[in-house]
Amino acid sequence: MKSIFEIAKSGLRGSERSMSVTSNNIINADTPGYSRQRVEKSPNGMQMDQHHAGLGVNIEEVTRLRDDINDKLLNKKQHDMGYLEKKANVYEKLEASMVTDYGDDLDTQVNNLFDNFSDLASSPQDVSVRNNLISETQQFTSKLRSTSLNIRQNSDLVKNFAGKTLDSINSLLSDINELNGSIKQAQAKGEPDFASLDKRVAKMDELSELVDFESRETSTGAMEIQIDGHSVVDENQVYNISSEVDDTNKKYRLRLENGHVIKPKSGKIGAEIEMYEEGIPEMRERLDNIASTIVSEVNNIHNSGYGLEDNVQRNFFNPAGTTAESISINQDLVDNSKHIAASDTDGEAGNGEIASEIASLRNEKVIGNTTQNQTLSNYTISTISEPGVNIDALNNQMEARDSEIQMLKTQQQEEAGVNIDEELSKMIKHQNAYQGAAKVMSSAQQMYDTLISIVR
């Protein structure tokens, strides 16, 4: 008789636990990051004389259904996606600094400069042509300066973004460390803290977009995290990361409390550091190349020619301004456009050879590198179009990564996600099982009462 009561009691307990877990699954069906749970049961019994007697059901454990390998793969793909998205975002800002909607871009300004020298070669004595050349040149130098300043502002912006990203990384690492403590305590008691485990997965998911890392779960349930081979969260503590910025040399270093320098290769902060140290400085260098080349090439020709009023040979540009931010026209020419050298011979006012020679620079391959020089116009076009070209390439890579991420998320959803229809059918099953166990208990009670009445 006792065994029947024990069987019924175990059935009630098992069904009640199963119903509780299933209900929790249903309630959290739309909770982001929730992993469905399942009650693992096994039959209970003992060997009697000549037969085996069943003693009901054992609740082995409550398991959390989640593919940890899938999470690791997803984190790695999100490292790349965060990196690609951030680089594309920075290049979009650079493109906005380079290209305008109204078409008056730097390549147009370069061509206008040479067009005006060509006009001067045809009409070297026309003061209005000379004044127009001065005006167009000032617009060109102003465009170079404003473009370079915009890029400098983007550099400062990216530096600030990197600081905020680092703050988020430190905050997430601290949260993961706290969750590690809760998870370890629960595991030591034999009662897994599934809520904290799900929260930790969500935190690591956020972290994976910001920085690339390696992770390993220890035997105590803690999650150890390394960045660039250096531990940032271990079994017992978290290590704060600080930044060291050298604005002059455009260096952005991340340093741990123990002094180790870490170099992220991916994630948002990896892209921000790369763009601050390399991508943006390269764009400014290209603009400086345009400025210095035009200054040197035009001056080399102009300072061998003569204006209309005297035989003094002058530079067209201020030779001290050889960067995009410092380039400027010679103030003597601004004050008196008759000092612009159009002639190659003193006293020949109608001679436009010098102006013609400067105008012909548009067809000369004077800029680039020793193996592949370009004309100033083509080099300028490639400079202002480079952000757009990079954006297109990054978008193609992001499409591929997004496809991989969505596939992994779908696979994880199949494993960890809650299917309402499935859970409702399980609820009916558990409810029926509970009612069945209750009937066994009721029948056993009636049998017991009958036995007692007979004994009396």
Of 420, 198, 383, which Cα lies nearest the Cα of 293?
Answer: 383
Domain membership of residue 366 (yes or no) is: yes
Q: Please tell me the predicted confidence (pLDDT) of residue 103.
A: 67
- Domain identity same for 426 and 394: no
- Domain identity same for 122 and 10: no
Q: Please tell me the predicted confidence (pLDDT) of residue 213.
A: 96
In this prediction, residue 261 has a pLDDT band, given cuts at 50, 70 and 90, of very high
- What is residue 254's three-state secondary structure? strand
Residues 6+ apart with CB under 8 A from 161: 272
Q: Please tell me the predicted confidence (pLDDT) of residue 372.
A: 82
Structural domain including 427 reads 2-65+420-455
Domain membership of residue 412 (yes or no) is: no
Q: Please tell me the predicted confidence (pLDDT) of residue 370.
A: 61
Domain membership of residue 414 (yes or no) is: no
pLDDT, one tens digit per residue, over 333-359 is 999 999 999 999 998 988 999 999 999
Q: Please tell me the predicted confidence (pLDDT) of residue 342.
A: 95
pLDDT, one tens digit per residue, over 15-42 is 999 999 999 999 999 998 899 999 988 8
Q: Please tell me the predicted confidence (pLDDT) of residue 53.
A: 67
Distance, in Å, from the CA atom of 80 to the CA atom of 68, rounded to the nearest integer, reads 19
Query: Torsion-angle region of residue 321: left (phi > 0), alpha (psi -120 to 50) or beta?
Result: beta
- Domain identity same for 341 and 236: yes
Domain membership of residue 56 (yes or no) is: yes
- Domain identity same for 50 and 142: no
Residues 6+ apart with CB under 8 A from 309: 336, 338, 339
- Domain identity same for 36 and 87: no
Domain membership of residue 409 (yes or no) is: no
Of 23, 108, 35, which Cα lies nearest the Cα of 65?
Answer: 35
- Domain identity same for 304 and 359: yes
- Domain identity same for 36 and 148: no
Q: Please tell me the predicted confidence (pLDDT) of residue 294.
A: 96
Q: 48 forms bridges with which residues in the sheet?
A: 51
Q: For the chain, what is the domain count?
A: 2
- Mean pLDDT, the chain, rounded, equals 92
- Domain identity same for 158 and 116: yes
CA-to-CA separations, 336 to 17, 98, 300, 311, in angstroms, rounded:
95, 32, 20, 14
pLDDT, one tens digit per residue, over 210-240 is 999 999 999 999 999 999 999 999 998 999 9
Domain membership of residue 33 (yes or no) is: yes
Domain membership of residue 30 (yes or no) is: yes
Of 370, 371, 340, which Cα lies nearest the Cα of 358?
Answer: 340
- Domain identity same for 36 and 156: no
In this prediction, residue 57 has a pLDDT band, given cuts at 50, 70 and 90, of confident
Report percent pLDDT > 90 for the chain: 79
- Domain identity same for 444 and 365: no
Query: Torsion-angle region of residue 189: left (phi > 0), alpha (psi -120 to 50) or beta?
Result: alpha
Domain membership of residue 413 (yes or no) is: no
Structure tokens belonging to residue 432: 């029926």
Q: Among 84-88, 98-102, 226-230, 232-236, where is mean pLDDT lowest?
A: 98-102
- Domain identity same for 60 and 75: no
In this prediction, residue 440 has a pLDDT band, given cuts at 50, 70 and 90, of confident
Segment 85-98 shows an average pLDDT of: 94
Q: Please tell me the predicted confidence (pLDDT) of residue 115.
A: 95
Q: Please tell me the predicted confidence (pLDDT) of residue 347.
A: 87
Structure tokens belonging to residue 397: 């890579």
- What is residue 434's three-state secondary structure? helix
- Domain identity same for 130 and 50: no
Phi, psi of 52 (to 5 degrees): -105, 130
Segment 399-412 shows an average pLDDT of: 94
